[in-house]
């Protein structure tokens, strides 16, 4: 089955740029979606179809996907961005939804 | 405003059936442009998609291989809601369960709306 890998944690200072990778074999050929989850809350979609932002999500959130890595980029990081972030793909060969293990973003 | 509201017991005994309900407001379970999913989350398994139901001229269901033999997801058009039934539960099924709406293209789907989550503990 298809596997996507995320680092357990990423730290960034306020105002800086955070980059959260999601690795997978030729993941650039798939579409990647990203979710933000704060403690005790349900996940919230922040990026879909690699680069698209749902309404209400700040422009500071962006996505890219190429080769073996997709990346969620958060510019001008704020304290309120501290959360767990998950990538998700649909592995069509197995008809299977796959989530990454999540990355905890810490704002220093 | 579209919302999903979950309900169901928080404690289920081993070998019994876990049943949850997700009420949809602001959209339709019979929508031709959405599907209705169950996803769970536990420390040991992370986020795990379980299955979905959707209407495209007729009703369809997809299930994850890991739960396919034990799981049923049914729509209720009269109440605009959908249900999860997971049979023969074990402590491994302890998790926070979410209902979620997905949007799809020919090559992928993503979850744009989630319920509030229900912690279900399997224990005697």
Per-residue pLDDT of chain A (108 residues; tens, 9 = 90+): 899 999 999 999 999 999 999 999 999 999 999 999 999 999 999 999 999 999 999 999 999 999 999 999 999 999 999 999 999 999 876 667 999 999 999 999
For B72-122, the pLDDT digits (tens) are: 999 999 999 999 999 999 999 999 999 999 998 888 999 999 999 999 999
The residue in chain A having the minimum alpha-carbon distance to the alpha carbon of residue B38 is A97
Q: How far apart are CA B63 and CA B85, in angstroms?
A: 12
Instruction: Report the 10 Å Cβ neighbour count for A46.
Output: 23
Cβ neighbours of A41 in B, within 8 Å: 117
For B11-59, the pLDDT digits (tens) are: 999 999 999 999 999 999 999 999 999 999 999 999 999 999 999 999 9
What is the distance in angstroms between the Cα of B98 and the nearest Cα belonging to chain A? 8
Burial of A26 (0-12, 13-18, 19+ CB in 10 A): exposed
What is the distance in angstroms between the Cα of A78 and the nearest Cα belonging to chain B? 23
Partner A contacted by B106 (CB < 8 A): no
Tokens, residue B123: 């224990």
pLDDT in the model for residue A25? 95
pLDDT in the model for residue A94? 64
Cα-based distances in Å from B93 to A42, A103, B66, B119: 18, 23, 11, 11
Contacts of A56 (CB under 8 A, 6+ apart): none
Cα-based distances in Å from A57 to A24, B10, B117: 25, 32, 21
Cβ neighbours of A86 in B, within 8 Å: 47
Contact (CB, 8 A) for A95 and A1: no
């Amino acid at each position: 089955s298809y596997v996507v890998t995320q680092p357990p944690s990423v730290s960034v200072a306020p105002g800086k740029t955070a980059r959260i990778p999601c690795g997978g074999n030729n993941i650039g050929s798939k579409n990647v979606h990203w979710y933000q989850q704060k403690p005790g809350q349900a996940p919230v979609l922040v990026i879909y179809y690699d680069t698209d932002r749902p309404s209400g999500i700040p422009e500071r959130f962006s996505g890219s996907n190429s080769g073996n890595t997709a990346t969620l980029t958060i510019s001008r990081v704020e304290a309120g961005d501290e959360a767990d972030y998950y990538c998700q793909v649909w592995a069509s060969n197995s008809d299977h939804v796959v989530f990454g293990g999540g990355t905890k973003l810490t704002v220093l | 405003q579209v919302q999903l509201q979950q309900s169901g017991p928080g404690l289920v005994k081993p070998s019994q059936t876990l049943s949850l309900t997700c009420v949809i407001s602001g959209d339709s379970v019979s929508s031709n442009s959405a599907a209705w999913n169950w996803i769970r989350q536990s420390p040991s398994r992370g986020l795990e998609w379980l299955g979905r139901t959707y209407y495209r001229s007729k009703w369809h269901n997809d299930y994850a291989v890991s739960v396919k033999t034990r799981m049923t997801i049914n729509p209720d058009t009269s109440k605009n809601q959908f249900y999860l039934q997971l049979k023969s539960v074990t402590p491994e099924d302890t998790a926070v369960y979410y209902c979620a709406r997905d949007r799809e293209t020919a090559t992928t789907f993503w979850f744009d709306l989630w319920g509030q989550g229900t912690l279900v503990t399997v224990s005697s």
